[in-house]
Amino acid sequence: MSKKKSETTLMDNNSFTVELEKHLRRELGTSPKRATAHDWWQALSLTLRDINLDQLQQSGLDENQEERHVCYLSMEFLMGRLLGDALMNLGLYETAATLLQSYGVRLSDVLDQERDMSLGNGGLGRLAACFMDSLANRNIPATGYGINYRYGLFRQVFVDGYQKEKPDVWREFGSPWETCRPSETVEIGLFGHMEMDHDGNNRWVPSKKLFGVPWDITIPSFGGQYVNRLRLWESLVGAYPIDLDKYNQGEYLEACRNLVDGDTISGVLYPEDSTPQGKDLRLIQQYFFTACSLKDIIRQHKQRGLPMGSLAKHYALQLNDTHPAIAIPELMRLLMDEEGMVWNQAWAITQEMCHYTNHTLLPEALEKWSASLLGRILPRHLQIIEMINYVFLNGEAKEQWGDNLEIIQKVSIFEELDNGDRMIRMANLSVIGSRRVNGVAALHSGLVKANLFPEFDALYPGKLVNVTNGVTPRRWLAHCNPGLARLLDRNIGTDWRTDLDQLEKLTPLAESPDFLDAFANVRFKNKERLARLIEKECKVTVNPNALFDVQIKRLHEYKRQQLNLLHIISLYHEMLDNPDADHTPRVFVFGAKAAPGYVLAKQIILAINKIAQVINNDRRLDDRLKVVFLPDYRVSLAEQIIPAADLSEQISTAGFEASGTGNMKLGLNGALTIGTLDGANVEIAEAVGDDNIFIFGKTVDEIAALQQQGYNPYHYYESNPVLKRAIDSLMNGSFCQHKPDLLKPVAEDLMHRDQFMALADFESYREAQQKVSETFRKPRLWWRKAVLNTARLGGFSSDRSIADYAEKVWGE
Ligand code: GFP
């Protein structure tokens, strides 16, 4: 990107002021003098949305474009707040700040008015948001398709240390960023039965109609010249949500039934969960947004006057995990039943258009749907899936493996259950129906080939590829860390925002004491800011000179917050045993939500909170150890934590974290990583060099070997006195004397089950943590490593990931 482009704005200051005031008056009925911070937020958002909408017409939606349009299908888009990022992208940040100042209003107060758009659980949804940003920046025409959930992921509060979930009403009175497009509403069917028409063809007669109403959000590139859109579907049952006849007869509840049903489908985002209840609603959600999106795509294709046979040439579908995998039979249905194609032609188009990203190897997270459930909701789709399987097993599979029943059963889309039902393996369907399948980090993609889909890899050489995840440098560096952004601008120019490899230019500056001081100074200011937030949210005072040790991610056993906790307890004991030793002061910062039905994860949260309470109030420690759990972890909170982190905890059991993206965000902002050789940590270690990262723990092979020989956590407990003491203190009520049994479940699980082998890695983790403490006491050394992390992680920009997708997945 040229310098000139970064300074260009699409609107001059005068017009901007005029537009903004117009919105204040016309949409909000107020004036600059009377406007509240919330009014300003709305008016600013509307003004920027308008600029984007103007540009949208000229870029991603260009009807004459030859390029393949990417349709990113995802159940989750974890967008966070939009205003700050948009101001920065459109080059209007300073302008807005100055204008508001003239009315005595602070831009930061205005930005704080925005509720996060939390339409996702974690990494998968945030990746989708980063990819939307990078697609626009790569000038690739794209639409993100998802669900306009009425409620985002729950709001987390702590009551006496317990996680409680509250509804997240993120757009109570509408969102200024969303534009409703009722004229592009689509109709889809559900349930019903199959009939044979007079030509002997199968015909689906749905018994229920559902309408999808699109809500659009614009996604501008940096500079704002190129704009794509996110299209989120809201569900509506029946053309008339209220049955007036029934209403007039006094049957009020029955009259509103359609309204209630419609609302339910796009009502709530499913938390990551292993509970089966409510699963049929999730399948309906998946079908709902996928079917609406496909109809939308076909409508546009036809509008452009293009023949159906060329659909795959003009559109690429990216399935974000198997959640939208029902797109495969749905596309087949549309092409055959509605467009009149024969099987082979429809299948060729489907296989050409679909691409699937796998994000996990955890067996419980690989989706399977009961055939009877799917057949009840989508009878025609069950038939088509059966046919796809039949053709596959009797064609390619037979040719490759003959009658090898073991393999045939493994690659089949259907898994036969003892109770007679069959489960549909959505991952197998996705691999068979897609042109490319990708994992999300080199290690993960290797495991996808070797362990998850070895047969498919042999059958389809070259179909399984790797695209390492990335994060957008606009939000995760430029916007969230303005101090560092300014320092970079002064030293290496401004182009890094759209060409993150420019960060390499920092390498020689790692030898400059002045630069290291300036870098450290930026961090210190960020830590002061976070300390203020911690004081406000947790009522705990922390010292910004201490090492800020950060673990922020979903709460899951495989991510091993419990391992971090055991180390904290051991550090506490060490400080009490040797009060006069020169301990490195540390502040442990946690941010994590646990799925509401995940009992052990919630117990781990409780344990962290209880231990924090004891440690934070123990005067003997002289403020050298603090533990804080910031409630309601979300994108906007991450934006405040990441620039203030010294140490990034990436401590999953090797082989279980597909990639991780928090590791990239923290590293880019100069935090050093303590991590296992898992997911993208492996590539991060290669990029920054072994001296600039703290790697510990068992490798994938060692973990597998341990599993093979039968893992016994009790052995580690018994043979390591430090570990034993830490676990005993959880067992014996040291951290909650009024209820001594409270944390027992966590301790017992660790001693007797420890599914993710925290105990096996404990000693190696503790040693690595000791090295961290020693290094932090040598500031020159620490800051040199920190600068080299920022300098060498440019390859983890999502712009690079999208370039890889364009080449390896959507390209030839
Ligand atoms: C999942 C995986 C992560 C991966 C992201 C994005 O996210 O390893 O980085 O998807 O590919 F587990 P989470 O569910 O862990 O948040």
Report the half-sphere exposure of 516 (CA within 13 A, side-chain side). Answer: 16
- Ligand 1 atom having least distance to the Cα of 559: 15
**What spacing in Å lies between the alpha carbon of 600 and ligand 1's midpoint?**
20
Report the half-sphere exposure of 79 (CA within 13 A, side-chain side). Answer: 32
**What spacing in Å lies between the alpha carbon of 232 and ligand 1's midpoint?**
22
d(C-alpha 154, C-alpha 151), whole Å: 8
Query: For ligand 1, atom 7, which residue shows the shortest CA distance?
Result: 123
Report the half-sphere exposure of 675 (CA within 13 A, side-chain side). Answer: 34
Q: Are strands 179-180 and 208-220 parallel, antiparallel or unpaired?
A: antiparallel
Residue 280 pLDDT level (bands cut at 50, 70, 90) = confident
pLDDT tens track for 411-439: 999 999 999 999 999 999 999 999 999 99
Share of the chain above pLDDT 90, in %: 87
Instruction: Name the token pair of 184.
Output: 């592009």
Residue 2 pLDDT level (bands cut at 50, 70, 90) = very low
Q: Tell me if 685 sits within 8 A of 699, measured CB to CB.
A: no
**What spacing in Å lies between the alpha carbon of 469 and ligand 1's midpoint?**
9
pLDDT at 498 over 90: yes
- Ligand 1 atom having least distance to the Cα of 657: 8
Query: For ligand 1, atom 3, which residue shows the shortest CA distance?
Result: 660
pLDDT tens track for 60-74: 556 666 789 999 999
pLDDT tens track for 432-468: 999 999 999 999 999 999 999 999 999 999 999 999 9
**What spacing in Å lies between the alpha carbon of 223 and ligand 1's midpoint?**
29
pLDDT at 706 over 60: yes
pLDDT tens track for 651-704: 999 999 999 999 999 999 999 999 999 999 999 999 999 999 999 999 999 999
**What spacing in Å lies between the alpha carbon of 658 and ligand 1's midpoint?**
6
d(C-alpha 549, C-alpha 588), whole Å: 5
| Span 736-764, average pLDDT | 97
Q: Tell me if 137 sits within 8 A of 221, measured CB to CB.
A: yes
Model pLDDT, residue 278 = 56
Please give the backbone phi and psi of residue 167, each rounded to the nearest 5 degrees, phi first.
-65, 145
Q: Tell me if 594 sits within 8 A of 727, measured CB to CB.
A: no
| Span 281-310, average pLDDT | 96
Model pLDDT, residue 279 = 76
Q: Tell me if 88 sits within 8 A of 479, measured CB to CB.
A: yes
Model pLDDT, residue 262 = 67
Are domains 68-81+116-434 and 504-698+762-802 of this chain identical in fold? yes
| Span 576-603, average pLDDT | 96
* 188: number of Cβ within 10 Å: 21
CATH of domain 504-698+762-802: 3.40.50.2000
Residue 239 pLDDT level (bands cut at 50, 70, 90) = low
Q: Tell me if 559 sits within 8 A of 553, measured CB to CB.
A: yes
Query: Pocket of ligand 1, candidates 440, 682, 801: which has the most ligand atoms within 8 Å of its Cβ, to mutate?
Result: 440
| Span 301-325, average pLDDT | 96
Query: For ligand 1, atom 9, which residue shows the shortest CA distance?
Result: 660
**What spacing in Å lies between the alpha carbon of 558 and ligand 1's midpoint?**
12
- Ligand 1 atom having least distance to the Cα of 661: 9
Instruction: Name the token pair of 433.
Output: 């129906």
- Ligand 1 atom having least distance to the Cα of 127: 6
pLDDT tens track for 321-348: 999 999 999 999 999 999 999 999 999 9
- Give the mean pLDDT of the chain: 94
Model pLDDT, residue 173 = 84
- Ligand 1 atom having least distance to the Cα of 126: 6
3-state secondary structure 742-764: CCHHHHHHHHHCCCCCHHHHHHH
Model pLDDT, residue 238 = 67
Residues with CB under 6 A from ligand 1: 122-124, 127, 359-360, 440, 469, 554, 657-661, 679
Q: Are strands 193-196 and 152-159 parallel, antiparallel or unpaired?
A: unpaired
Residue linked to tokens 């690595």: 768
Assess if CATH 3.20.20.70 describes domain 68-81+116-434.
Answer: no
pLDDT at 403 over 60: yes
| Span 546-562, average pLDDT | 98
| Span 585-607, average pLDDT | 97
Cβ neighbors of 393 (< 8 A, separation 6 or more) are 408, 411, 412
- Ligand 1 atom having least distance to the Cα of 554: 16
Angstrom CA distances, 11 to 19, 51, 610, stand at 10, 8, 52
pLDDT tens track for 216-238: 999 999 999 999 999 999 998 86
Model pLDDT, residue 1 = 31
Model pLDDT, residue 264 = 77
Nearest to 641 by CA among 354, 632, 187: 632
Instruction: Name the token pair of 280.
Output: 């049929």
Residue 281 pLDDT level (bands cut at 50, 70, 90) = confident
**What spacing in Å lies between the alpha carbon of 358 and ligand 1's midpoint?**
10
pLDDT tens track for 105-157: 999 999 999 999 999 999 999 999 999 999 999 999 999 999 999 999 999 99
Whether complex ipTM tops 0.95: yes
Beta bridge mates, 118: 78
Q: Tell me if 78 sits within 8 A of 128, measured CB to CB.
A: yes
Nearest to 187 by CA among 282, 288, 263, 257: 288
Query: Pocket of ligand 1, candidates 661, 663, 756: which has the most ligand atoms within 8 Å of its Cβ, to mutate?
Result: 661
Query: For ligand 1, atom 16, which residue shows the shortest CA distance?
Result: 123
Query: For ligand 1, atom 10, which residue shows the shortest CA distance?
Result: 124
Q: Which of 55-59, 94-98, 309-313, 670-674 has the lowest mean pLDDT?
A: 55-59
pLDDT tens track for 619-636: 999 899 999 999 999 999
Residue 363 pLDDT level (bands cut at 50, 70, 90) = confident
3-state secondary structure of 286: helix
Angstrom CA distances, 154 to 121, 150, 355, 613, stand at 9, 11, 31, 25
Cβ neighbors of 123 (< 8 A, separation 6 or more) are 359, 553, 554, 659, 660, 661, 662
Query: For ligand 1, atom 15, which residue shows the shortest CA distance?
Result: 123
Cβ neighbors of 642 (< 8 A, separation 6 or more) are 476, 480, 481, 550, 552, 662, 665, 666, 669, 671
Helix (H) or strand (E) holding 699: none
Residue 196 pLDDT level (bands cut at 50, 70, 90) = confident
Please give the backbone phi and psi of residue 242, each rounded to the nearest 5 degrees, phi first.
-115, 130
Model pLDDT, residue 276 = 53
* CA angle centred on 263, ends 262 and 268, rounded to 5°: 130
Query: Pocket of ligand 1, candidates 119, 132, 359: which has the most ligand atoms within 8 Å of its Cβ, to mutate?
Result: 359
Q: Tell me if 318 sits within 8 A of 400, measured CB to CB.
A: no
Q: What sections of 196-341 are H helices per DSSP?
A: 244-248, 252-255, 257-265, 279-303, 311-314, 327-333
Beta bridge mates, 424: 369, 414
Model pLDDT, residue 364 = 82
Query: Pocket of ligand 1, candidates 76, 124, 445, 447: which has the most ligand atoms within 8 Å of its Cβ, to mutate?
Result: 124
Positions marked catalytic:
359, 553-554, 559, 661, 665
Model pLDDT, residue 5 = 37
Task: Map out the domains of the chain as residue ranges.
Answer: 1-66+82-114, 68-81+116-434, 504-698+762-802
Q: Tell me if 352 sits within 8 A of 312, measured CB to CB.
A: yes
* 62: number of Cβ within 10 Å: 13
Model pLDDT, residue 201 = 81
- Ligand 1 atom having least distance to the Cα of 660: 9
**What spacing in Å lies between the alpha carbon of 65 and ligand 1's midpoint?**
33
- Classify residue 322 by its DSSP letter: S
Residue 6 pLDDT level (bands cut at 50, 70, 90) = very low
